[in-house]
Structure 1
Amino acid sequence: MAKKEAKEMSVEQKLQALYELQTTLTAIDEKRALRGELPLEVQDLEDEIAGLDTRIEKIDTEIKEFQSAITMKKGEVQEAQANLERYNNQLNEVRNNREYDSLSKQIDYERLEVELCNKKIKEATDQVAYRTNDLEIAKTEREERQKDLDEKKSELEDILAETREEETMLKERAKDLEVKIEPRLLSSFKRIRKSARNGLGIVYVQRDACGGCFNKIPPQRQLDIKMHKKIIVCEYCGRILIDPELAGVKVENGKAEKPKRKRSTRRKADTEEKKEA
């Protein structure tokens, strides 16, 4: 049914529907522009916090491993010291030089074992202190990033609360308009709009020039645009062209006056704040 309706539309009706769709999409873009870089900033902070969480978890695991190694080495020291005590007692009971030499070697080995274990304990203790400091720094940084994230989210939520209802209505309006436009024309319009820097896929003639790229339009081509007999695009930028009257723009002394548009509540509030300041 929608396709049939689109085919029965005149070129003038198609152009009107396209321009109305353009103004609706532009209004949606303006609502999104109010958010600025906030959504990206929120995402970046969330990613940074996730990275810090991973780092904190890794450092905490390393600290636990060092502490476990310290406990194990302390157990080995106690065992070696017990062996030393036993071997020293056995020295008093040796019966020949062979037994004495054997016990002496065991005593030397256990002493070296104690020294080595104490060295490992010191190194692990130093690492625990070093990594604990890193952990505190990471936790502090995470707290700061979390505060920043909470502030950005709150600011973004305020903006969304202001624009959500109106943006939803605009999106519904855009969907209704898209149904009325034939698929091929709609696809071309979206492609032009996507490649345009300002998101304008259809523009009206301003001062004998394209309202998108501002290149001059020949008089005969302007006449064709006013006739509404076919879809005409700018030979420079590829945007669809319509005459000002079809766009609802008043023309006085050869100059097109843009229709007045309401500013958003947020911008008014910002202006009032600046005046008060």
Structure 2
Amino acid sequence: MENTVSQKLDAMVKLQSIDSKLDEIKKIRGDLPEEVQDLEDEIAGYETRVDKFKSELSDLEASIDQHKANIKSYKDRVAHLQDQQMNVRNNREYDAINKELEMLDLDEQVSNKKIKQDQAAISAKKEQIIDTKTTLEERKKDLSSKKVELDEIISETEIEEEKLMKQRDKALKNVQDERLITAYDRIRSNAVNGLAVVSVKKSACGGCFNVVPPQRQADIKERKKIIVCEHCGRVLAGVEVEVVEEKPKKRTTRRKKKEA
């Protein structure tokens, strides 16, 4: 059986009350959850960076091995050509071998130069790995400290939070209106104070404090339909009656007649 509008509004008021209490618990935690998440993301980034440096280091070492293999190949070729050069039949063959020997010498020089460059890059990369690992360990210590602090706060409020969450689930079921719940969540996410359901106080919206016309207040009191503030969109669940305190009457004392 579907609830009446009045029952839905009561459930929304209850839901808002529960969410406001949950917001207070979150305020106690402050920025710690975000700080923990940021540190975890930062640590993951440093770990990825270390892995990348190690991969680049491996590539540089493989490059050096290749250049050394090339140099060996050049030297073997040089030895073979030098043997051939001893048995040439004419100057043309001699010059051709000599030209190839010069090219092999240049190739060997280039390979040696690249080996030195790779070795310098390896030294720089190893320093980067050390620096990154040092920063990584510092961030891990920070994370551990923040987690201990957060866990202590969570343990203090955990029982209360679980109780409130159960009450919240019950309140959500009592609303029985998915569109209303969706609107409620949207308004709460946009509101700085987290209020999506408010009352009219002193003829003004309890959320944005804009004036609510008398006729609209009368409609809110009837609770026959869901009425929202035309300025901020918050659900107006009721009108608080302003109690005017009577000022105590001043006592008047009769003046004594002057004696004749």
Amino acid at match of 2:231: Y
Amino acid at match of 1:140: T
Distance in 2 of aligned mates of 1:96 and 1:219: 119
Matched-pair contact (CA < 8 Å) for 2:220–2:236: no
Structure 1 segment 240-255 matched on structure 2, within 5 A: 240-244=236-240, 251=243, 253=245
Among all aligned residue pairs of Structure 1 and Structure 2, give the percentage whose two residues are the same amino acid. 39
Tell whether 2:184 aligns with 1:212. Answer: no
Residue of 129, 135, 144 corresponding to 1:135 = 129
Distance in 1 of aligned mates of 2:223 and 2:96: 112
Tell whether 2:190 aligns with 1:198. Answer: no
Distance in 1 of aligned mates of 2:175 and 2:89: 111
Bigger-Rg structure (1/2): 2
Shift in Å, 1:166: 0.9
| Partner of residue 166, structure 1 | 160
Q: Which runs of 5+ in 1 are unaligned?
A: 255-277
Amino acid at match of 2:42: E
Distance change >3 Å, CA 75–CA 225, structure 1 → 2: closer
Distance change >3 Å, CA 103–CA 199, structure 1 → 2: closer
Amino acid at match of 2:159: E
Shift in Å, 1:226: 5.2
Matched-pair contact (CA < 8 Å) for 2:205–2:236: no
Tell whether 2:50 aligns with 1:56. Answer: yes
Matched-pair contact (CA < 8 Å) for 2:200–2:236: no
The CA deviation string for residues 120-164 of structure 1, in whole angstroms up to 9 with x for no partner, is 211211221222222222222222222222223222222222222
Distance change >3 Å, CA 102–CA 166, structure 1 → 2: same
Distance change >3 Å, CA 68–CA 217, structure 1 → 2: closer
Structure 1 segment 29-178 matched on structure 2, within 5 A: 29-84=23-78, 93-94=86-87, 98=91, 100-178=94-172
Amino acid at match of 1:242: G
Query: What is the TM-score normalised by the length of structure 1?
Result: 0.71
Amino acid at match of 2:245: N
- 3-state SS, counterpart of residue 209 of structure 2: coil
Matched-pair contact (CA < 8 Å) for 1:26–1:199: yes
Distance in 2 of aligned mates of 1:146 and 1:55: 15
Matched-pair contact (CA < 8 Å) for 1:178–1:186: no
Amino acid at match of 1:38: L
- 3-state SS, counterpart of residue 205 of structure 1: strand
Distance change >3 Å, CA 182–CA 71, structure 1 → 2: closer
Distance change >3 Å, CA 230–CA 55, structure 1 → 2: closer
Shift in Å, 1:26: 0.8
Shift in Å, 1:173: 0.6
Q: Which runs of 5+ in 2 are unaligned?
A: 247-260
The CA deviation string for residues 64-106 of structure 1, in whole angstroms up to 9 with x for no partner, is 2222222232233344445545655776x55765365455345
- 3-state SS, counterpart of residue 198 of structure 2: strand
Amino acid at match of 1:116: V
Distance change >3 Å, CA 120–CA 181, structure 1 → 2: closer
Distance in 1 of aligned mates of 2:193 and 2:128: 47
Between stretches 222-231 and 63-72, larger displacement belongs to 222-231
Distance change >3 Å, CA 33–CA 102, structure 1 → 2: same
Distance in 2 of aligned mates of 1:43 and 1:229: 46
Distance in 2 of aligned mates of 1:203 and 1:143: 49
Number of aligned residues: 243
| Partner of residue 260, structure 1 | none
Amino acid at match of 1:243: V
Query: What is the TM-score normalised by the length of structure 2?
Result: 0.74
- 3-state SS, counterpart of residue 208 of structure 2: coil
